[in-house]
């Protein structure tokens, strides 16, 4: 499933075309994705101007000029692409043909730019695990899918003190605590593995052990907060990680997967200087965890 860096990359790819454009026509080629599409979706979108394209956790948000917000989740295989006139947007260096079979083009937004340029924003989803819903900007944080989401891992708000408040008293494994979306919004399996490796912390360690008795963060906790912010920033800069179904809006692939230190590297040598450990895969709560037992304590 695309994680936060992938969704942020999609947002940045769509933003120049969508922000400021007016939605002239909406094609709904099926009534549902993972859930039924809103019954008033076409009426709510047609004729409206897009004023901002945002992101909350793993959700893409399309804010309209009447304060309505279209919220999109990519699910397992969802992607957006941009087509201009009869041509498709120029693909990137890692382009491949996935995500273009017309049978899987389920929602098409016909957009008119301020300069009279026209584009089609096409949502393609072979597995149909993605979904879309409408909400009001003022009430967006109270929607069932968004309510209770934790801090974003992209800014200075996620520091050692904030992480200590999340982890204090927690006996659950550290990895499980980090994957809890009520703590950190949008942080997924790949980037938790990578951040724990950077911080040299075991995914099996009890989460509360990173917090002092008075609630203050330990040095390990400070190190982990920094590692989370850094790994997310690096992944966004690399355009995300192209695993299985993920692709950017211009048809290109992200390449952060070429920088993985532990994820999907079972049996390979640890990349920390001076460490002679070997990456091991374990299963936690039904999900693969990759770590180095030698240096992650």
The rounded distance, in Å, linking the Cα atoms of 227 and 210 is 14
Higher pLDDT, 217 or 242: 217
At which of 81, 113, 142 does a domain end?
Answer: 142
Question: What is the CATH number for 187?
Answer: 1.10.8.50
Question: What is the CATH number for 72?
Answer: 3.20.190.10
At which of 142, 169, 202 does a domain end?
Answer: 142
In this prediction, residue 20 has a pLDDT band, given cuts at 50, 70 and 90, of very high
- Tell whether the model's pLDDT for residue 91 goes beyond 60: no
At which of 84, 112, 142 does a domain end?
Answer: 142
Q: Is residue 152 part of a domain?
A: no
Domain tally, the chain = 2
pLDDT at 261 (0 to 100) = 93
Q: Is residue 150 part of a domain?
A: no
168: domain range?
A: 160-291
Q: Is residue 148 part of a domain?
A: no
The rounded distance, in Å, linking the Cα atoms of 84 and 128 is 25
In tens, the pLDDT along 104-146 reads 999 999 999 988 999 999 999 999 999 999 999 999 999 999 9
Do both 166 and 135 map to the same domain?
A: no
Do both 209 and 253 map to the same domain?
A: yes
In this prediction, residue 92 has a pLDDT band, given cuts at 50, 70 and 90, of very low
Which residues carry out catalysis?
Answer: 2-3, 58, 287
Do both 133 and 231 map to the same domain?
A: no
- Tell whether the model's pLDDT for residue 245 goes beyond 60: no
Higher pLDDT, 88 or 55: 55
Q: Is residue 147 part of a domain?
A: no
Q: Are 20 and 49 in contact (CB under 8 A)?
A: yes
Do both 12 and 93 map to the same domain?
A: yes
In tens, the pLDDT along 193-203 reads 999 999 999 99
- Tell whether the model's pLDDT for residue 39 goes beyond 70: yes
In this prediction, residue 253 has a pLDDT band, given cuts at 50, 70 and 90, of very low
Locate 32 and state its tokens: 């549902």
Residue range 235-248: mean pLDDT, rounded: 56
- Tell whether the model's pLDDT for residue 244 goes beyond 50: no
Do both 103 and 216 map to the same domain?
A: no
Buried-state track 62-88, b at ≥16 Cβ within 10 A, e below 16: bbbeeebbbbbbbbbbbbbbbbeeeeb
The rounded distance, in Å, linking the Cα atoms of 135 and 61 is 10
Q: Taking phi first (over 0 means left), then psi (-120 to 50 degrees means alpha), and beta for anything else, what does residue 220 get?
A: alpha
- Tell whether the model's pLDDT for residue 255 goes beyond 60: no
Do both 168 and 136 map to the same domain?
A: no
Give me the phi and psi of 216, to 5 degrees please. -75, 150
Considering only 71-75, 98-102, 205-209, which range has the smallest mean pLDDT?
A: 98-102
Do both 114 and 167 map to the same domain?
A: no
Tell me the percentage of the chain whose pLDDT exceeds 90. Answer: 74
Give 119-161 as a DSSP string.
EEEEEE-SS---EEEEEEGGGGGGSTTTTT--B-TTSTTSSHH
Do both 40 and 167 map to the same domain?
A: no
Planar angle of CA 263, 5, 290, nearest 5 degrees: 15
Per-chain mean pLDDT for the chain: 89
Do both 271 and 170 map to the same domain?
A: yes
Q: Is residue 155 part of a domain?
A: no
The rounded distance, in Å, linking the Cα atoms of 162 and 160 is 6
pTM: 0.86
**H-only helix segments in the chain:** 4-18, 41-45, 160-167, 174-179, 189-198, 219-237
pLDDT at 102 (0 to 100) = 84
């Amino acid at each position: 499933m695309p994680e936060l860096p992938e969704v942020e990359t999609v947002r940045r790819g769509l933003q120049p075309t969508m922000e400021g454009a007016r939605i002239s026509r909406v094609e709904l080629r099926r009534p549902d994705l993972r859930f039924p599409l809103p019954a008033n979706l076409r009426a709510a979108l047609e004729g409206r101007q897009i004023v901002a394209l945002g992101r909350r956790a793993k959700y893409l948000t399309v804010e309209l000029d009447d304060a309505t917000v279209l919220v999109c989740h990519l699910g397992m295989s969802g992607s957006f692409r941009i087509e201009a006139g009869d041509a498709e947007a120029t693909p990137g260096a890692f382009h491949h043909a996935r995500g273009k079979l017309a049978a899987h083009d389920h929602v098409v937004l016909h957009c008119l730019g301020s300069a009279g340029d026209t584009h089609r924003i096409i949502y393609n989803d072979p597995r149909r695990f993605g979904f879309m819903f409408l909400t009001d900007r003022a009430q967006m944080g109270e929607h069932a899918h968004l309510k209770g989401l934790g801090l974003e891992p992209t800014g200075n708000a996620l520091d050692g003190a904030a992480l200590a408040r999340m982890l204090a008293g927690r006996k659950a494994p550290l990895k499980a605590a980090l994957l809890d979306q009520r703590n950190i919004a949008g942080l997924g399996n790949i980037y938790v593995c990578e951040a724990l490796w950077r911080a040299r912390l075991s995914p099996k360690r009890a989460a509360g052990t990173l917090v002092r008795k008075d609630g203050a963060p330990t040095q390990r906790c400070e190190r982990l907060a920094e590692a989370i912010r850094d790994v997310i920033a690096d992944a966004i800069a690399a355009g995300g990680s192209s695993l299985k179904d993920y692709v950017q809006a211009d048809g290109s692939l992200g390449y952060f997967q070429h920088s993985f230190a532990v994820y999907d590297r079972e049996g390979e040598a640890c990349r920390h200087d001076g460490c002679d450990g070997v990456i091991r895969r374990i299963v936690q709560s039904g999900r693969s965890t990759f770590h180095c037992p030698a240096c992650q304590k």
